[in-house]
Amino acid sequence: MRLANKVAIITGAASGIGRGIARMYAHEGARVVVADVDDAGGTETVRLVEGAGGEALFVHCDVTSAANVSEMVQATVARFGRLDILVNNAVWDRGDAAVVDLGEEVWDRTLAVTLKGPFLCSKYALPEMIRKGGGAIINISSGCGVVGCGPSAAYSASKGGLELLSRSLAIDYGGYNVRVNTIAPGGTRTPRAAALERPEVRARAAKEHLIQRTGEPEDTAYAAVYLASDEASWVTAVTLPVDGGWVARPGGAPPRE
């Protein structure tokens, strides 16, 4: 097992990509902490992990709250004795728009969850990783954080900021054997992308990727396993697109729906 004896926190793990990563990490031997504000979804992720023979703990956590994040890390160490991996996956992208039409409250909430959240989670996870000799932080970004999307100013800005936060963390903490990398998924079938359940929307979205299909949570989860494993022990400060070639498509990225 590629993650045997490791302990991982995954934020936003009540559904979608976060749930996919939690399940695959457990399959690879990690003990996982499922962190989310969605209690029902988080509990269901734990049930799925445990039903497959894994070990998991749900922690209700609002990643915009320093107190909540500190308590999440404390609960992880109290239960499992250590922390090796942090996956910053929690996101907010509701009500986004082009700048003139964008509400200030939407901008604030998007950046609070999607950018401040990874800052806080890293801030409180790093001392535990350093204490045990190292670790891995994986930030889930987006193709929109690499090339930008429209009309999606807040989401693109938050994901672009996450790209550079990742590199700053890698620079500052590489000497402590903490690796920090980013995954940039393409269009992926999750509850947040409910429109992709419509065949005509999915077919149109598939044509926007060089490999002409939409993504599944498992596509990102496979990459997250590699970046958390010892196989990636000399890999840090990189962004790995897992997007079927979306950011490389001729003419650039189309507007985000």
Structure tokens at 82: 């250590």
Q: What is the rounded CA–CA span in Å between residue 27 and residue 52?
A: 8
Structure tokens at 75: 């609960």
Number of H helices, E strands in the chain: 9, 7
Is 155 marked active-site? Answer: yes
Q: Which residue is associated with the tokens 């990690």?
A: 30
Nearest residue to 149 via CA among 185, 196, 195, 113: 185
**Helix ranges, the chain (H):** 16-27, 39-51, 66-80, 104-111, 117-131, 144-147, 153-173, 199-206, 217-228
Which strand (E) or helix (H) includes residue 36?
A: strand 31-36
Structure tokens at 169: 């963390």
Q: What is the rounded CA–CA span in Å between residue 113 and residue 116?
A: 6
Burial group, residue 40, by CB count within 10 angstroms (0-12, 13-18, 19+): exposed
Task: Output the CA–CA distances (angstroms, integers) from residue 232 to 157, 158, 160, in the order listed.
Answer: 28, 26, 23
Structure tokens at 139: 């930030």
The one catalytic residue among 124, 155, 176, 226: 155
- Based on its alpha-carbon atoms, the radius of gyration of the chain, rounded to whole angstroms, reads 17
Catalytic residues: 155
